[in-house]
Amino acid sequence: MKEKTILVVDDEARMVQFIKMNLELEGFRVINAGDGYQALEKVVHELPDLVILDVMMPDMDGFETLKKIRELSSVPVIFLSVKGEEFDRVRGLDLGADDYMTKPFSPRELLSRIRAVLRRIEEKSQAGEAEIVVDDELRINFDQRKVIVRGQEVLLRPTEYRLLYQLVNNPGKLLNHETLLSRVWGPEYRDEDQYVRLYITYLRQKIEKDPKNPRYILSERGLGYRFKEFKM
């Protein structure tokens, strides 16, 4: 994690200094921006490894800033906000954030989340190069990051790939929420059940012919999810 560059975007100077001090003590290089417009410039010119983005900012809030960042870069983003309602968390994740933390928070928790996100990004896929043929309508090559659904390539977000990887490589096996959270997001996320539900919905919308009546990703009510059985 040493020498990674973290961009902190917040209009509160004291908050920026607090985060900067704690991250630099852990060996990170920290740059900062006071608003969304400065953040976009820093993303383009400084190429940070991760962005910590405040939601409540004047002129252009964090949600709008993330929309514009995603037009430019796939850099991982962690939202910070005093708004902890599930609607806001889901909205942030839906826009492409990698995590969402509620203020106030401890430096240790922030560091744990940062490390977890960077670890997920840096992990190399352990999948082989061979194409996985689930059936006539679904083919997957994790090494090449290709998912072919009914003859058309479907683009998945990094988190969606990791989730699909866990499901597909355990066909017919029930994976509970805690297992999926630990394997896909990291052990720090064992209580964040809404992450699993949200990304299962995303995957079904992309690979299922009828997301409301899925044939690949099956739910076990109150227990977890399993991928349909097929010959590997």
In three-state form (DSSP H/G/I as H, E/B as E, the rest C), the secondary structure along the chain is CCCCEEEEECCCHHHHHHHHHHHHHCCCEEEEECCHHHHHHHHHHHCCCEEEEECCCCCCCHHHHHHHHHHHCCCCEEEEECCCCHHHHHHHHHCCCCEEEECCCCHHHHHHHHHHHHHHHHCCCCCCCCCEEEECCEEEECCCCEEEECCEEECCCHHHHHHHHHHHCCECCCEEHHHHHHHHHCHHHCCCHHHHHHHHHHHHHHHCCCCCCCCCEEEECCCEEEECCCCC
List pLDDT tens digits, range 190-201.
Answer: 778 889 999 999
Per-residue pLDDT band at 70 (split at 50, 70, 90)? confident
Using CA atoms, how far apart are residues 155 and 207, in angstroms rounded to an integer?
10
Q: Rounded mean pLDDT of 100-123?
A: 88
- pLDDT for 123 equals 65
- pLDDT for 25 equals 93
**More confidently predicted of 46 and 128:** 46
List pLDDT tens digits, range 19-50.
Answer: 999 999 999 999 999 999 999 999 988 889 99
Q: Rounded mean pLDDT of 65-82?
A: 88
**Domains of the chain and CATH, by start:** 5-122 (3.40.50.2300), 132-227 (1.10.10.10)
- Whether residue 124 is predicted with pLDDT greater than 70 in this model: the reply is no
Percent of the chain beyond pLDDT 70? Answer: 95
Residue 41 · residue 47 · CB < 8 Å? no
- pLDDT for 128 equals 46
Residue 110 · residue 28 · CB < 8 Å? no
- pLDDT for 1 equals 53
Distance of CA 73 to the CA centre of its chain: 14
Q: What is the mean pLDDT of the chain?
A: 89
- Whether residue 80 is predicted with pLDDT greater than 90 in this model: the reply is yes
Residue 53 · residue 100 · CB < 8 Å? no
Q: Is the pTM of this model over 0.85?
A: no
Using CA atoms, how far apart are residues 196 and 92, in angstroms rounded to an integer?
15
